[in-house]
């Protein structure tokens, strides 16, 4: 199912960037790492011939770059609509909807959410991307999403514990 080649090499680069991305506790650093991850994913999925996933990653580059500077819901909705329309246009089979849904969830998370809520939305998006990566045969992408689910859950736990500790300390 998985054949190691240049596409898979870039998938493994995505795997590494993704781990670094979701280990970030700071939202801005997370978004910068995500920008690098998505740039690499454009190439990775393009080399696999997974055009809806490559397109979703390309739109994610633009939306993540903008999300670093703004939290506009209008931009979020614009990117969600563009992702759906373009994704349906280049999609050839029903399974091509998975990267589109994953990208839409990531868009909403980046523009409209923060902290724990943002990371929960990323978890949902990760499930869509995991499904896509298994279908298109992305070894690095599959490992990435499985790992990100675990890493993201751990980061959510740490953020939640920090929130509880801060709320419980009257001096903070």
Alpha carbon of 35 to those of 31, 38, 85, 169, 170: distances in Å? Answer: 6, 5, 22, 36, 38
**pLDDT digits 0-9 by tens, 16-60:** 998 888 677 787 888 888 899 999 999 999 999 999 999 999 998
Entry field: residues in the chain: 172
pLDDT for the residue numbered 172? 47
| Tokens (6 digits) for 138 | 């992305």
- Give the residue extent of every domain in the chain: 6-165
As a whole number of angstroms, the distance between CA 84 and CA 32 comes to 24
Angle at alpha carbon of residue 59, lines to 20 and 148, rounded to 5°:
25
Decide: residue 36, CB within 10 A, 0-12 exposed, 13-18 middle, 19+ buried.
middle
**pLDDT digits 0-9 by tens, 51-96:** 999 999 999 899 888 888 888 899 999 999 999 999 999 999 999 9
Kindly report the pTM of this predicted structure: 0.82
pLDDT for the residue numbered 170? 52
Mean per-residue pLDDT of the chain: 89
């Amino acid at each position: 199912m998985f054949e190691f080649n240049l596409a898979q090499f870039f998938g493994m680069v995505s795997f590494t960037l993704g781990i670094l991305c979701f280990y970030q506790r700071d939202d801005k650093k997370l978004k910068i790492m995500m920008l690098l991850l998505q740039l690499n994913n454009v190439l990775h999925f393009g080399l696999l011939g997974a055009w809806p996933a490559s397109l979703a990653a390309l739109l994610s580059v633009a939306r993540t770059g903008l999300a670093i500077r703004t939290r506009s819901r209008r931009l979020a909705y614009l990117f969600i609509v563009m992702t759906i329309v373009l994704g349906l246009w280049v999609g050839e089979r029903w399974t091509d909807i998975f990267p589109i849904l994953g990208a839409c969830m990531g868009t909403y998370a980046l523009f409209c959410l923060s902290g724990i809520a943002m990371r929960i939305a990323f978890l949902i998006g990760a499930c869509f991307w995991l499904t896509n990566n298994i279908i298109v045969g992305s070894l690095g992408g599959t490992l990435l999403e499985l790992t990100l689910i675990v890493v993201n859950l751990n980061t959510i736990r740490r953020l939640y514990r920090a929130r509880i500790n801060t709320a419980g300390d009257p001096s903070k």
